[in-house]
Amino acid sequence: GLSKEEVIEAHGSFQRSYCTSNSCDKEYDLAWLKREIFNPEGNDGVPNVKTAAPLSDQILFCFGEALPDRFHSSLDNDFSACDLLIVVGTSLAVSPFNTLVGRTKSGVHRILY
């Protein structure tokens, strides 16, 4: 596997999730999320948090947040040393992700998934 230093999660991760109810912002860890996902009989198949309101709110996975500083500060060094580029989870329709495949040196293999 890869170390945390070798992976930049540009738009969130399953490592952390949070409640979006009434500015609650309570955070939940990966262990909680796994329990919710792999035990769907307890939540009708959707990870939910119980709030003070009679509703359960779904969890969002940090999408929409600003890109991490490390994404921008690592671009030049990472792409100049890159010998294989793997881009996962994008249609390449939105910047800056649609520019990533062109940042590598000539001849570098690219995997888009």
Q: Tokens in use for 4?
A: 């945390």
Q: Which residues pair with 85 in a beta bridge?
A: 110
Check if 109 is active-site. Answer: no
* Dihedral sign computed on CA atoms, order 82, 83, 89, 90: positive
> CA 48, CA 21: separation in Å to the nearest integer?
11
Which one of the listed residues 11, 24, 71, 97 is annotated catalytic? 11
CB 18 within 8 A of CB 59: yes
Cα angle 5, 63, 104 (rounded to 5 degrees) comes to: 45
Residues forming the active site: 11
